[in-house]
Amino acid sequence: MKNSLISVYENSVFKYPKLVLLVIALLVAILSQYATNFRLDASSDSLVLENDQSLKYYREVVSKYNTAEFLVLTYSPLASYGALFSDQVLADLSSLRERLLTISNIKSIVSILDVPLTQSPPLTLAELNGAPQLLLDEKTDRAMARKELSTSQLYRDLLISPDFSTTAVVISLHSDDEVSALLNRRNKLRELRANSGLNPQQAAELEKVTLSHQAKAAEFQRRQDQLIENVRGVVSAYEDKATIFLGGLPMIVTDSISYIRGDVVVFGSAAILVIILILTVAFRQTGWVMMPLITCATTGYTMICVLGLLNWPISVVSSNFLSLLLIITLSLNIHLIVRYRELANLHPDQGPLEIVRVTIRSKFIPCLYTSLTTIVAFGSLVVSGIRPVIDFGYIMCVGIVISLLVTFTLFPSLALVIKPKSAEVNSDPASKLILALAKKLYDQTSGAAIGFVIAAIVAGYGLANLTVENRFIDYFKPDTEIYQGMHQIDAKLGGTTPLDIIIDAPADFFEEQEKYQQEQARISEERAANADQQDYDDDFADFEDDLGDDFSDFAENGVDATDSAAEQGNLAFSSYWFNETGLQQVRAIQASLEALPETGKVLSLATSMSIFDNLKNAEPMDNIDLGFLYNVLSEENKNTLFVPYMSEDGNQIHISIRVFESHKGLDRNKLIDDIRQLLITQHGIADEQINITGMLVLYNNMLNSLFSSQILTLGTVFLVILLMFIVLFRNIKLALITLVPNLFSAAVVLGLMGIFTIPLDLMTITIAAISVGIAVDNSIHFVARFRDEFSLHNHYSESIDTATNNVGQAMFYTTMVITAGFLIMVFSNFVPTMYFGILTAIAMVTALIANLIMLPILLARFKPLTGSASAQ
């Protein structure tokens, strides 16, 4: 079977190279129709775990409390132009507001010009029923308004900064109900699939809903992109009057997609230029430049088409897939080129066909195993649980398979058609110098060994200090609007990262309430069945007596079975939170949360009720007043003051917190634990009543998974690679020795991260596994050649020297290409991508040093291959 496959391959590729090239061209042309489906994604899914139950709860909270998407403009008037409350600045704000409202898909705007004022001058409760008092009204006292806006629990740090230098314009956006419905249905089907599996009809529906959601979401995102562009167009007219920054999740998504698109183009283009440069310097012949260039371009374009065919999106994490794929493909080509040139010089009498045949036969197995080990490295990412990291793993696995297939069909076909000239092996002075230095260090075994041991100890120290805690704001360069907007909102307007606290009424409250409702139902049934009204009255009196004691604990909260008829329908007498006692507890909770150094603006039911605290001639409200207030307020006011912070029955409250993302030493996990303990110990809230959610929690869950994912992915990679080494070399001792340099390079790069306090994040979590998967290629080629030479010469030193002189050159070239390819990533706007590029480049160089020096030392010291007594 094996021989027949080889025969088919050689009879087709070697005999008909031009036909093979034509077939490949036709296949690429057919696939090209899917290139237009290639798409980018920067949704919030890239920041969370795929199967995080907190994500499901968070989506329920968003749906229940009507949390809409919005943009935030920070407007800071230039000192030379006027103060914030000057007539000119307010006129400019009004003009900006009106122009923004003309933009399609903007639902509403809230600014200091739009919010109702109750203390400028003070209003009575009766006056609240009239038209709201606004900042630009003639009757409004501007000085009092300034004080109210800066001291109000609702407005301070939300719409105006404490120093009056900055104000916020909050732009609410229309949502797409169809996209939301498709998303909800998709999530329900995915949850069902994870829990109990899907039947064929449900599986078909999931596929259909997923495709529909992707199409509708892409259309919606295009509208959002246009909206952001229009907003920036309006804002640009005011940039000579104020410093303005745009913030908000829709803007971050739009800009991130732009960054991803730029990264794909820059990384891909730069990788091509690097390939041309290094090939020209290394081989100095047009043929040897064009052949790998054609192979790389074909591989890259084919992968783009396949991604479109499979409908796989590219995220920030996978935006470097093209450059990675190109340099991996090039490394395969370089090993083939170096071997071809070596054979051409050793056997100048042989023709191109025989040289190509021997080259492919001698290099296919090592290249197959190097590809498999790289696939193992990227494949290990699928256990991370983070959707974009999982997709990145799958994308690269498919890409490497395509790379291997394209390389071993295109390279021999092109070599037979182009017939590139051979050249003196190892004529490049740089590689000769590096190899000579490696030999010298190898000869000085003791000094080199001490150096590696010291490096390993330092790496171990760094590993012990490796962390996952990082700030989302640091994902972006300081000169990007995302960074500047988040920093401005953090510094002036009460924080950026949302954190939501949901507190339910205690369980025994619901039990007593259920008893009360059951008794009501029983009495109603008896009343309907009993024609004697007196009997009914007696029963009702008994019912009141029986339940009086049971409800005594909740009398202060308004749940009293003896409520008078006037109290029926009064939320203050039926809910746990919307009454005197409940509101007092909410105010205390809010004060405690505001005192935490990490928290900025805190919004809750207490914030809404603070509007009524200082009304003219107002007195403290009792439960009857509260119930009356709730009943007489318009639906619009209820939607503004109560719906975002309290459930309809008043038995659940929602506290919205904005956390300072730029707070030094922010520890999300500790903050979440501190808040929970604060509620339990200081405010007597039971643990089961508390649910903490929001993007901060979801992001924190993802961060906490990084350590376990790093251990799991690395462990998986090393175990599978070791097993592959054993299969390839059929020698456990040799397999273990070959693994050591790669363990060393992974430890060094992770140790450097710990020493320089670079945290694990979405990108850096992949460094160790990927660097090992790529760097192990050199180990395989070196040991495979060493083993072949040892079988011929039965001499360790001679076999090591030959392997170093020949395979070492290819190792040097491939490492330079890979290193240069990763260093291209420093041009990304996404800071973790920059770290990923730099650290992986360091790992590649470290692996080269270890494979050229440490690996020969270990082979000579432990002598894993058996031979005659003369073997040295």
Task: Return the closest-CA partner of residue 626 out of 591, 589, 575, 677.
Answer: 575
Q: What's the pLDDT at 793? A: 81
Q: What are phi and psi of 407, to 5 degrees?
A: -60, -45
With 50 as the cut, is the pLDDT of residue 536 above it? no
Judge whether 687 lies within some domain: no
Q: Which position has the higher pLDDT, 168 or 311?
A: 168
C-alpha count within 13 angstroms, C-beta hemisphere, residue 647: 15
Alpha helix (H) ranges present in 347-469? 352-379, 387-418, 429-443, 445-464
Q: Which position has the higher pLDDT, 47 or 865?
A: 865
With 50 as the cut, is the pLDDT of residue 567 above it? no
One DSSP character per residue, 283-308 reads H--HHHHHHHHHHHHHHHHHHHHHHH
Q: What's the pLDDT at 870? A: 43
Tokens linked to 245: 């920054």
CA atoms of 270 and 166, how far apart (whole Å): 42
Determine how β-strand 167-173 pairs with β-strand 497-504: unpaired
Please state the domain count of the chain. 3
CA atoms of 330 and 816, how far apart (whole Å): 11
Q: Which of 108-117, 342-351, 530-539, 773-782 comes out lowest in average pLDDT? A: 530-539
Q: pTM of the predicted model, to two decimals?
A: 0.75
Is the same domain home to 450 and 348? Answer: yes
**What would the pLDDT profile of 280-301 be if each residue is shown by its tens digit?**
887 878 888 899 999 999 999 9
Is the same domain home to 827 and 842? Answer: yes
Q: What's the pLDDT at 67? A: 63
CA atoms of 750 and 854, how far apart (whole Å): 19
Q: Are 578 and 571 in contact (CB under 8 A)?
A: yes
Q: Are 90 and 113 in contact (CB under 8 A)?
A: yes
Judge whether 603 lies within some domain: no
Question: In this structure, what CATH number is given to the domain that contains residue 705?
Answer: 1.20.1640.10
574, 602, 620 - which closes a domain = 574
Judge whether 792 lies within some domain: yes
Q: Are 753 and 459 in contact (CB under 8 A)?
A: no
Is the same domain home to 207 and 347? Answer: no
| 3-class secondary-structure state, position 167 | strand
Q: Are 167 and 112 in contact (CB under 8 A)?
A: yes
Confidence of residue 479 (pLDDT cuts 50, 70, 90): confident
526, 550, 574 - which closes a domain = 574
Q: What's the pLDDT at 564? A: 41
In the chain, count of helices (H) and strands (E)? 29, 8
- Rounded to 10°, the helix 249-283/286-310 angle is 150
Is the same domain home to 314 and 357? Answer: yes
Is the same domain home to 222 and 195? Answer: yes
**What would the pLDDT profile of 172-229 be if each residue is shown by its tens digit?**
888 888 888 888 888 888 878 877 888 889 889 988 998 898 888 888 888 988 999 9
Q: Are 851 and 443 in contact (CB under 8 A)?
A: no
Judge whether 672 lies within some domain: no
With 50 as the cut, is the pLDDT of residue 482 above it? yes
247, 274, 302 - which closes a domain = 247
With 90 as the cut, is the pLDDT of residue 96 above it? yes
Tokens linked to 17: 């190279």
Q: What's the pLDDT at 374? A: 87
Is the same domain home to 108 and 202? Answer: yes
Is the same domain home to 69 and 104? Answer: yes
With 90 as the cut, is the pLDDT of residue 89 above it? yes
Question: What is the average per-residue pLDDT within 755-781?
Answer: 80
Question: What is the average per-residue pLDDT within 382-386?
Answer: 74
Judge whether 128 lies within some domain: no
Looking at residue 361, its amino acid is: R
Q: What's the pLDDT at 129? A: 66
Rg (the chain; Cα; Å): 35
**What's the gap between Cα 143 and its chain centre?**
46
Q: What's the pLDDT at 43? A: 63
Tokens linked to 839: 């650290």
CA atoms of 351 and 357, how far apart (whole Å): 10
Q: What's the pLDDT at 434? A: 63
Question: What is the average per-residue pLDDT within 70-88?
Answer: 89
Judge whether 497 lies within some domain: no
**What would the pLDDT profile of 221-266 be if each residue is shown by its tens digit?**
889 889 999 999 999 999 999 999 998 888 888 888 888 788 878 8
With 60 as the cut, is the pLDDT of residue 553 above it? no
Q: Which position has the higher pLDDT, 648 or 551?
A: 648
Confidence of residue 432 (pLDDT cuts 50, 70, 90): low
Is the same domain home to 853 and 716? Answer: yes
**What would the pLDDT profile of 660-695 be if each residue is shown by its tens digit?**
988 877 888 899 999 999 999 999 999 999 999 888
Question: What is the average per-residue pLDDT within 507-532?
Answer: 72
**What would the pLDDT profile of 804-829 be if each residue is shown by its tens digit?**
877 887 788 888 888 888 888 888 88
| 3-class secondary-structure state, position 42 | coil
Q: What's the pLDDT at 544? A: 42
Looking at residue 103, its amino acid is: I
Q: How far is CA 542 from CA 519, 534, 546, 550, 703, in A?
A: 11, 13, 6, 14, 58
Tokens linked to 612: 């009524």
Is the same domain home to 414 and 512? Answer: no
Looking at residue 782, its amino acid is: F
Is the same domain home to 773 and 856? Answer: yes
Confidence of residue 470 (pLDDT cuts 50, 70, 90): confident
CA atoms of 653 and 630, how far apart (whole Å): 16
Is the same domain home to 201 and 340? Answer: no
CA atoms of 299 and 281, how far apart (whole Å): 23
Task: Return the closest-CA partner of residue 47 out of 655, 705, 600.
Answer: 705
**What would the pLDDT profile of 125-179 be if each residue is shown by its tens digit?**
677 666 778 889 888 998 999 998 888 888 888 889 888 899 999 998 888 888 8
Domain holding 540, by residue range, is 507-574
With 70 as the cut, is the pLDDT of residue 529 above it? no
Tokens linked to 519: 């008794």
Q: What's the pLDDT at 635? A: 79
Question: What is the average per-residue pLDDT within 584-601?
Answer: 94
Q: Which position has the higher pLDDT, 682 or 540?
A: 682
Judge whether 868 lies within some domain: no
Q: How far is CA 229 from CA 103, 235, 252, in A?
A: 10, 10, 13
C-alpha count within 13 angstroms, C-beta hemisphere, residue 175: 14
Confidence of residue 424 (pLDDT cuts 50, 70, 90): low
Question: What is the average per-residue pLDDT within 349-358?
Answer: 88
Is the same domain home to 719 and 838? Answer: yes
Mean per-residue pLDDT of the chain: 83
Q: What are phi and psi of 657, to 5 degrees?
A: -120, 140
With 80 as the cut, is the pLDDT of residue 441 above it? no
Task: Return the closest-CA partner of residue 375 out of 325, 449, 338.
Answer: 325
Question: What is the average per-residue pLDDT within 437-451?
Answer: 73
Residue linked to tokens 């390079």: 745
Share of the chain above pLDDT 90, in %: 26
Q: What's the pLDDT at 542? A: 47
Judge whether 643 lies within some domain: no
